Amino acid sequence: MDVEGAAVQPRKKNSWGWQKGTLLLAYQSFGVVYGDLCISPVYVYKNTFSGKLRLHEEDEEILGVLSLVFWSLTLVPLLKYIILVLGADDNGEGGTFALYSLMCRRSRMGLLNSLHAGHGSVSSYNQDEPCKETRSSLAIRGFFEKHHSLRVVLLLFVLMGTSMVIGDGVLTPTMSVLSAVSGLRIKFPELHENYTVLLACVVLVGLFALQHYGTRRVGFLFAPILLSWLACIGGIGIYNIFRWNPTVVRALSPYYIYNFFRKAGRDGWSSLGGIVLCITGAEAMFADLGHFSKLSLRLGFTIVVYPCLVLAYMGEAAYLSKHREDLQSSFYKALPDRVFWPVLFIATLATAVGSQAIISATFSIISQCRALGCFPRIKVVHTSSHVHGQIYIPEVNWTLMSLCLAVTIGFRDTEMIGNAYGLAVILVMFATTCLMFLVITTVWNRSVLWAALFAAGFGSMELLYLSACLAKVPHGGWLPLLLSLATLLVMSAWHYGTAKKQEYELQNKVCLDHFIGLSSGMGLVRVPGVGFVYSDSVAGVPPMFAHFVTNFPAFHRVLVFVSLQTLTVPKVPQEERFLVGRIGRPEHRMFRCVVRYGYKEGRWDHFNFEDQLLVKVLEFLQLQQADGDGERCSTGSGEMSVIPAAPSQAVVDALASMSSGEIEYYAGGGAKKVRFEELPAAWRREETMSEVRELLEEREAGVSYMIGHTCVFAHESSSAVKKFAVNVVYGFLRRNSRRPAVVLGIPHTSLIEVGMVYRV
């Protein structure tokens, strides 16, 4: 089948095509990555001077704020993210989970690295160049590996950062849209606040209603819109600098930061909660790395975005130095009358661009969490057959819209929303700084001094911003904490319940020899057809199937145990996706197939999935007959050997000449069909003919799918906290999430569900 997210062929770096592709990616990144960062000039000065700092309206305070904004933009988005953090990608993917997956693979510091067997043969795990481990890296790694509680805290810390990004998905559209439409009150002062709130709600509803069309269609005009917006604010900034106060250029000196705090004192510290809004969206540049390349993001930001933002803030400061009475509406008041309405129109469109960036990032992050077992099962729609990252999640989309409308109607004031927004942003950045310390020491194996310098330099600045934002918790800052807490509760409870369920299945799996002996003593009946048994087990017989056989002693003549595993790599190469092995002796006709995905990949559609699995089983038989060719991987139980079932040339040649038949097989992006009589000669040898013929005949007799319908409850002797987490929270989420059979796309008429109760 054609899997979304297929690997992109590497380009030759010295060719014009590679340069053209990089420039094209840089152009496309304007419509996805920088929207949130570029819309900030609309509300930064307004929120900064909304508190007690409005009492300080001298040039020193205005230039001090400009100096703080300039150095914040230089140190955080430019130096930290563009230059340093982008280098910590996970095979081209960025974000909080990318940093965590790096640590999971390199050591046992993570809790997501030991659930799946057989991943050592995936080449994506071994792409990093070997680097000599330092004493400090071994010490830090050993410290985490010895203490399970620290690994739990690390996972919760990652989930906290992730939940804050999801909280941004609520605050960014609200803050951006409401700030843009509030510009109407500059020209119409008598316009009631209710009308601007109503207009903001209409824009938000329209924005979320368009999401089901996909990022590719919705974002077709986003890059030109944002480039037009950057040209506007950059050009107007230059105009304001030369017209009102060219001397604002001196504010680029850090001396004005010292002078600002010397004169403003505690009020200046409190204003940091507004200044931090100038770096909102910096985290999105790292989170959206998977859609582009590091070079394209670096080119777009350093050549276009950064200079335009600096000019915009300088121009606004130049205007304020001569019009101190306009502190609460400086952005729109600084616009020349001739361009006011065009800029207001473009600003409203640009807010949609900024909102689209965080909405798409929220979809992507939740999809990653779901794939790694940290979020309930939800419907993920892939809106592009070419770009695996372009997805749409209906439940999340409408939940975000409802929360955005509630915040817009409930808060109304951009000052309170800004307080909440700033806290969410700075917490995510601080989480990235802490994770980067671990990546530098344990993944890059660099000196702990360099890691400490990184953490101390950026961490101290972020903690200073964080302290100012925490002071505003009673004035709206509580909202991101509440949203993050609720999301963290959902994610941690689901992960804990899923881990306990898998732990129970691992401990209660049935030994193969015991199962075969039990089967022979029960007088089992083998009914015609092929049975696919879905479970998380990659070794032994899952307890669900043993429970079924105990109560109903019959199963299909051909049995394939299927396990869909998500590994801590972004993508699994196509040729390494399937692992196939035999269970028991050949006459048992039982096989196991492990299908592996990366956390950024979409699962295969179930259309003709059983044909694909059967072809892989046939290829396994061919490889096994050819004196064991292929890489063997142990499942860890010693009961079977697993062989990667990459398509052989004989299979491809045979399938290429077929136009109709019994088995449909996907190769090279197209569907091919093959009949038994036209199978490769290697399959029609005496040793394998009977098995191949039987497989095809049983497939023709019918296919059934068996899946467990489990209810997980905490043991009677468990603590009250565990009972609440498993019985109440996890139970509620399990009952209200999508059923496994629906997620897998299994036909209801061919489904067998086996009910079981797990006491964990």
Regarding whether 453 and 536 lie in a shared domain, the answer is: no
Regarding whether 753 and 613 lie in a shared domain, the answer is: yes
CA distances from 417 to 172, 413, 423, 630, 741 (A): 9, 7, 10, 59, 41
Regarding whether 503 and 391 lie in a shared domain, the answer is: no
Comparing C-alpha atoms, which of 425, 411, 375, 410 is closest to residue 396?
A: 375
Mean pLDDT by 10 residues, the chain (760 residues): 34 56 81 84 86 68 92 94 88 81 78 53 57 78 85 89 86 85 81 86 88 65 86 94 92 91 85 89 81 85 94 93 81 88 88 78 83 86 64 88 92 80 87 92 88 94 91 84 90 91 85 66 79 85 85 86 84 82 81 84 61 79 60 41 45 39 44 47 54 79 88 90 92 89 82 89
Q: Considering the domain boundaries, does residue 306 fall inside one?
A: yes
Regarding whether 259 and 342 lie in a shared domain, the answer is: yes
> What does the angle CA 487 – CA 491 – CA 493 come to, to the nearest 5 degrees?
115
**Phi and psi (nearest 5°) for 402?**
-60, -45
For residue 289, the one-letter residue type is L
> Which structure tokens are listed for 68?
């703080």
Cα–Cα distance measured from residue 294 to residue 87, given in angstroms and rounded to the nearest whole number? 8
Q: Is 392 exposed, middle or buried (0-12, 13-18, 19+ CB in 10 A)?
A: buried
Residue 130's pLDDT is 53
Cα–Cα distance measured from residue 524 to residue 527, given in angstroms and rounded to the nearest whole number? 10
For residue 334, the one-letter residue type is A
Residue 436's pLDDT is 93
Regarding whether 206 and 59 lie in a shared domain, the answer is: yes
For residue 23, the one-letter residue type is L
Separation of CA 388 from chain center: 12
Q: Considering the domain boundaries, does residue 53 fall inside one?
A: yes
Residue 179's pLDDT is 83
Cα–Cα distance measured from residue 502 to residue 537, given in angstroms and rounded to the nearest whole number? 8
Q: Considering the domain boundaries, does residue 47 fall inside one?
A: yes
Q: At what angle do helices 59-73 and 306-320 cross, to 10 degrees?
A: 170
Q: Considering the domain boundaries, does residue 564 fall inside one?
A: yes
Q: Does the CA dihedral 196-199-203-208 come out positive or negative?
A: positive
Q: Considering the domain boundaries, does residue 118 fall inside one?
A: no
Regarding whether 142 and 61 lie in a shared domain, the answer is: yes
Indicate the length of the chain as a whole number.
760
Separation of CA 744 from chain center: 20
pTM of the model: 0.81
Regarding whether 352 and 279 lie in a shared domain, the answer is: yes
How many CB atoms lie under 10 A from the CB of residue 2?
14
Regarding whether 525 and 450 lie in a shared domain, the answer is: no
Residue 452's pLDDT is 93
Count of structural domains within the chain = 2
Q: Considering the domain boundaries, does residue 252 fall inside one?
A: yes
Whether 383 and 5 have beta carbons less than 8 Å apart is answered as no
Regarding whether 694 and 546 lie in a shared domain, the answer is: yes
| DSSP count for the chain of H helices, then E strands | 31, 12
Regarding whether 376 and 295 lie in a shared domain, the answer is: yes
Regarding whether 532 and 469 lie in a shared domain, the answer is: no
Residue 420's pLDDT is 81
**Torsion angle defined by CA atoms of residues 721, 727, 732 and 737, in that order, rounded to the nearest 10 degrees:** 110
Q: Domain limits at 81? A: 39-112+134-475
Q: Considering the domain boundaries, does residue 398 fall inside one?
A: yes
Q: Give 510's DSSP letter.
A: B
Q: Considering the domain boundaries, does residue 525 fall inside one?
A: yes
Q: Give the domain-ending residue among 475, 508, 535.
A: 475
CATH number of the domain within which 379 lies: 1.20.1740.10
Regarding whether 440 and 397 lie in a shared domain, the answer is: yes
